[in-house]
Structure 1
Amino acid sequence: MPLSPEQKAEIESQRAGGERTLRAVSPGMEARLYTAHEVLDHGFVRVIDYMGDDAAICQAARVSYGRGTRSVQNDEGLIRYLMRHWHSTPFEMCEVKFHVKLPVFVARQWIRHRMANVNEYSARYSILDREFYIPAPEQLAAQSTQNNQGRGDVLQGEEAQRVLDLLRDDAMRSYDHYEAMLSQDGQQGLARELARMNLPANIYTQWYWKTDLHNLLHFLRLRADAHAQYEIRVYAEVMCEIVADWVPAAFAAFRDYRMDAVSLSAQGAAALKRRLAGEVVTQENSGMGAREWREFQEVWG
């Protein structure tokens, strides 16, 4: 299970103990604080701490004192203006710290976003648990024939079962050998920092990941996208729900101007104008490559 009874008891204790504060708080984030949201088969995401809210973004943009005297409607309008015109600094005034449990191969993809403070569970000092990510059958897919970093058709029947059996058997065998190397029963036992090299990339790790809202939204725009790898996308989708409760005006603007928006290259804009003028535009006379043309057609028909 993602959470042990001891971890659940600790979370309940954290949520039960409240402290009076003079700083601005977000009611939506207060409701989320410390709660573990389960992801994949053994993973989770939970908020450990945060700073700021929608009003903090506006306060920074106006460089005002206190929470200001502007109405919520004016604040929403300002936030939408800032998002629409790519003013990033006010969004950096909000920060959040997550506790994430995730497979190692997802962590290695995640860490490519070099805009956070990270502290990961150390397998040099501690022994990792026997917990591995094993995909659900519907997530077992062949290599895409059109995208070198994507998935194609879902594996079926005996082939799917063969892959699942290999994943489980390899993970368990590797962990058995890991324990055997660490064992001090009749031997000195290998150092933990060396024994860990034998573990597979689907074993679970944990970290604290702290970032500001601007960089978090950039992460979510890429990783909550339909084209992102499923195993990191499901984490991003849970984080989207959390951010929507934390800074609802900022997230609504982000969804409108980033996640659900469409951007065009100069060639794409020109092709669209020519189409609107009644001209027949093809890939050959559009100035776009095959992949860009295909993406253009997916949006504009």
Structure 2
Amino acid sequence: MRLPPFSSLVALEAAARHRSYSRAADELFVTHGAVSQQVRKLEDELGVQLFARRGNQMEPTPTGAALAEQVRRALDTLRHGVEDARRAGSGPIVISVGAALAASWLTTRLARLTAETGELDLTIRVEDRVADLTTDGVDIALRYGVGPWTGVESVRLIDERMFPVCSPETLARHPIEKPEDLLTAPLLRHTSLTWATWFRAMGIEPPELPPGLAFDASTMLLDAAAQGMGFALARAGYAQRDLQDGRLVRPLPGEVDVDTGHSFVWRADNPKLPRILKLRDWLLRETEGERREGRVCPDGENPAYPAASCPPPRPFATSGP
């Protein structure tokens, strides 16, 4: 069954409550004639009288009063629903991010992110774990890995790229002109980012490294390199701040792409979705510019730096809208 126009039902409810077309018109910001016309159309459609004039008042008939009460209840339900939806979409957007990415990458962008998106209500949770976007009160995760992840949407923000770094003092003590020179240099290690991968990409059979310092946290690894303890294999996103500040330098051009990276992860059914997507789009634009401008690739004609070690930038892959 087709319902009458919503505007007619609203006019009926207001007129019945005020017992006046004029006061109903004032409440609804329309004219007296508009309310009268809406009620008349509703009476014609239903085939029943809804109001009768009693002196200066428009008294609802029993049928009009009963219908007005039903409309009032329906409007109350709608108001509560809208209020609940508004509350659900308010409050801080909670972002879960690993310590290394937070310190070296996200914090350098927060001022511009809030200024350019207008999103001021953010809570950053620094945690090296996979947050559950359903049960942990997290709206966005900047997640490291390959993906995709079950039950969420994701888009790749940063492709994993690695390259050697060291302090300016280390480079002065151990001049590096070609990849082979690192075979005799002091190498710092990360437990999950191996020098073997980089040496193979450079066309060099990876050596068996002597005992030395190894770290399972990128921040500690880069800090040790900045203190002059040796050469480290850095992830591009993590090393950016130290490179900009001059604490670290790159002894060689070129970088190696690997499959992993950082992704922006969210739930499509999150009530804060419009705000989440605004942040997603801003970060996508931000990282696209870095990929286009900040990439340093070896010369393909130089046999010391195989062109295969630096393939063209990959387009962003997304499992979300």
Q: TM-score band (shorter)?
A: under 0.3
Larger Rg: 2
By percentage of residues, which structure has more helix? 1
